[in-house]
């Protein structure tokens, strides 16, 4: 045990060591983090939410848009967990640890965005369990979101922590320890995005969100954007380290993304048909979003049309084996689907629910420079956290401190089912 903790400490020390490129990356991220802290404490924290572009008419904006998107990125780890643990697909088993690290990073970013949107960070205490706060569980849907997000963070932290500890000992994980975590984490991954969708769909006064198709759309889009980001990260990891990430694993994930995009587009067009064919007064939100209302043009139409085009082009590239197994086309498709889902589930989902308002008022919300700078800073925090996690994991994975080269914690001999 002593050697294991010593090896873990040596691995943590690795975050202080690296090439010029590594230090340059940290300086680059630090610039945006420091800038975000400056804008936050100088403006938003001092003067309140008036420094954002949000008003009574549009009370959820850029922060909640990023929160919603990142919940999907966190949930997308299940796309690696199921093939790795349930079907024992060996190429993915050996890299699923990085997917779980990405899930931890995404949840941390989600919690930061929620705290920012509260205006005063200490107000986050009110949604914690008693005796600290009063979360009104199970009446409040927000309390359910607090439970599932923090529960998912704990589950992934336990899994990653135990695997890193096993690597530090130079051993594979024990089935008896990992199996309960896996059994709970798979449905929990779906729950975090389902409950987030219920936060929107449960608001009957906001007809744009009040649809039963929203939760499956959330899950389908999550299984597009999150794995697309993972594919780019996996290529970077195998480029800058000696960890073997096979093309077979990457191409299998790309194939699964193709199915998810197909489902996402199908659900989108089903929703469009329902709204426009029925043409009730509820269609006003989606009409404004894509076409404007009468002489009032939509300030979001360019965003959602770009999102739709990105998703369709990405689907075309992921659909055929020839293009999705060509790394040039594959990376283009990953960027397209990531951008498409980010725009669709961000500004294209949150803001239109408030436009027009319940009294018919149209407030054209766009994030202020402070919101944008602070948001970039949160993304930089996420990138730095993930970088540090990977920096710690790689030497342990390669057996640098144990003398056992490339101990694969998810090798075939460590089958979950025993």
- The number of distinct structural domains making up the chain is 1
User: What distances in angstroms separate CA 283 from CA 5, 111, 144, 238, 272, one per listed residue?
Assistant: 59, 33, 30, 48, 9
pLDDT for residue 410 is more than 50: no
Where residue 84 sits, what CATH number does that domain have? 1.20.1630.10
5 domain residue, yes or no: no
Which residue matches tokens 């993972």? 230
Which residue matches tokens 């085009």? 309
Write the DSSP symbol of residue 40: I
In degrees and rounded to multiples of 5, residue 400 shows phi and psi of -65, -35
pLDDT for residue 316 is more than 90: yes
- The percentage of the chain sitting over the pLDDT mark of 90, rounded to a whole number, equals 62
User: What distances in angstroms separate CA 295 from CA 279, 291, 292, one per listed residue?
Assistant: 19, 10, 8
Q: Which helix (H) or strand (E) covers residue 13, if one does?
A: helix 2-13
* Polymer length of the chain: 418
The confidence score (pLDDT) of residue 404 equals 57
* Distance separating the N- and C-terminal Cα atoms of the chain: 25
Mean pLDDT of 18-31: 95
396 domain residue, yes or no: yes
d(CA 395, CA 393): 6
Taking CB atoms within 8 Å and a gap of at least 24, the contacts of 254-259 are 254/318, 254/324, 254/325, 254/330, 254/333, 255/318, 255/324, 256/79, 256/83, 256/223, 256/227, 257/79, 257/223, 257/224, 257/227, 257/228, 257/231, 257/318, 257/337, 258/315, 258/318, 258/319, 258/324
3-class state of residue 370 by DSSP: helix
Is the preceding peptide bond at 356 cis, omega within 30 degrees of 0? yes
The confidence score (pLDDT) of residue 405 equals 53
Span of 5-14, 205-214, 297-306, 345-354 with lowest mean pLDDT: 5-14
pLDDT for residue 1 is more than 70: no
pLDDT for residue 412 is more than 60: no
In degrees and rounded to multiples of 5, residue 296 shows phi and psi of -90, 110
Quick one: tokens of 231? Answer: 């594919």
6 domain residue, yes or no: no
What is the pTM (predicted TM-score) of this model?
A: 0.91
Write the DSSP symbol of residue 8: H
Write the DSSP symbol of residue 293: B
Residue 187: Cβ-neighbour burial (10 angstroms; 0-12, 13-18, 19+): exposed
The confidence score (pLDDT) of residue 409 equals 52
pLDDT tens-digit profile of 123-179?
888 887 787 878 888 888 888 999 999 999 999 999 999 989 888 888 877 777 877
User: What distances in angstroms separate CA 388 from CA 180, 250, 378, one per listed residue?
Assistant: 27, 23, 15
pLDDT tens-digit profile of 244-255?
888 988 999 999
Convert 119-147 to b/e letters by CB count within 10 Å (16 or more is b).
Answer: eeeeeeeebeeeeeeebeeeeebebbbbb
Neighbours of 170 (CB within 10 A): 16
pLDDT for residue 403 is more than 80: no
Write the DSSP symbol of residue 407: -
pLDDT for residue 406 is more than 60: no
With cut-offs at 50, 70 and 90, classify the pLDDT of residue 416: very low
Three-class SS string for 183-214? HHHHHHHHHHHHHHHHHHHCCCCCCCCCCCCH
User: What distances in angstroms separate CA 335 from CA 66, 171, 328, 407, one per listed residue?
Assistant: 17, 37, 11, 32
Convert 372-405 to b/e letters by CB count within 10 Å (16 or more is b).
Answer: ebbbbbbbbbbbbbbbbbbbbbbbbbbbbbbeee
Mean pLDDT of 321-345: 95
Specify whether the CB–CB gap between 324 and 333 falls below 8 A: yes
d(CA 32, CA 215): 33
The confidence score (pLDDT) of residue 413 equals 37
The confidence score (pLDDT) of residue 292 equals 92
Average pLDDT, the chain: 89
Q: Which residue has the higher pLDDT, 42 or 398?
A: 42
The confidence score (pLDDT) of residue 408 equals 54
CA 33, 38, 41, 47 dihedral sign is negative
- 169 closest CA partner among 14, 405, 397, 1: 1
Domain that holds residue 274: 12-414
Mean pLDDT of 304-324: 95
Helices (H) and strands (E) in the chain, counts: 17, 0
4 domain residue, yes or no: no
98 domain residue, yes or no: yes
302 domain residue, yes or no: yes
Q: Which residue has the higher pLDDT, 359 or 152?
A: 152
pLDDT for residue 360 is more than 80: yes
pLDDT for residue 414 is more than 70: no
pLDDT for residue 402 is more than 80: no
């Amino acid at each position: 045990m002593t050697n294991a903790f010593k090896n873990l400490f040596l691995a943590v020390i690795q975050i202080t060591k690296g090439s010029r490129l590594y230090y340059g990356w940290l300086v680059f991220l630090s610039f945006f983090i420091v800038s975000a802290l400056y804008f936050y404490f100088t403006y938003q924290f001092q003067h309140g939410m008036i420094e954002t572009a949000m008003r009574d008419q549009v009370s959820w904006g850029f922060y909640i848009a990023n929160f919603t998107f990142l919940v999907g990125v966190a949930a997308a780890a299940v796309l690696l967990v199921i093939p790795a643990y349930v079907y024992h697909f060996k190429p993915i088993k050996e890299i699923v640890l990085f997917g779980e690290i990405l899930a931890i990073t995404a949840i941390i970013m989600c919690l930061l965005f929620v705290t920012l949107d509260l205006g005063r960070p200490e107000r986050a205490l009110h949604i914690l369990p008693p005796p600290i706060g009063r979360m009104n569980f199970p009446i409040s849907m927000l309390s359910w979101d607090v439970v599932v997000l923090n529960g998912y963070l704990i589950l992934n932290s336990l899994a990653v922590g135990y695997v890193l500890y096993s690597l530090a000992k130079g051993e594979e994980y024990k089935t008896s320890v990992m199996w309960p975590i896996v059994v709970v984490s798979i449905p929990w991954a779906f729950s975090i995005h389902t409950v987030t969708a219920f936060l929107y769909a449960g608001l009957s006064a906001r007809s744009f969100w009040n649809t039963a198709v929203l939760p499956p759309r959330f899950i389908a889009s999550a299984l597009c954007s999150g794995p697309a980001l993972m594919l780019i990260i996996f290529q970077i990891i195998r480029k800058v380290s000696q960890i073997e990430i096979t093309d077979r694993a990457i191409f299998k994930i790309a194939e699964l993304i193709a199915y998810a995009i197909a489902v996402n587009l199908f659900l989108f067009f089903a929703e469009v048909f329902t709204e426009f064919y029925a043409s009730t007064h509820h269609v006003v939100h989606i009409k404004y979003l894509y076409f404007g209302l009468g002489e009032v043009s939509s300030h979001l139409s360019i965003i959602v049309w770009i999102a739709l085009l990105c998703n369709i082009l990405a689907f075309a590239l992921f659909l055929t084996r020839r293009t999705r197994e060509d790394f040039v086309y594959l990376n283009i498709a990953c960027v397209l689907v990531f951008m498409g889902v980010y725009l669709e589930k961000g500004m294209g989902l949150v803001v239109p629910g408030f436009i027009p308002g319940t009294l018919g008022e149209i407030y054209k919300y766009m994030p202020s420079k402070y919101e944008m700078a602070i948001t970039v800073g949160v993304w930089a925090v996420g990138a730095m956290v993930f970088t540090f996690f990977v920096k710690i994991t790689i030497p342990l994975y390669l057996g640098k401190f144990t003398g056992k080269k490339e101990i694969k914690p998810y090798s075939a001999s460590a089958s979950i089912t025993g």
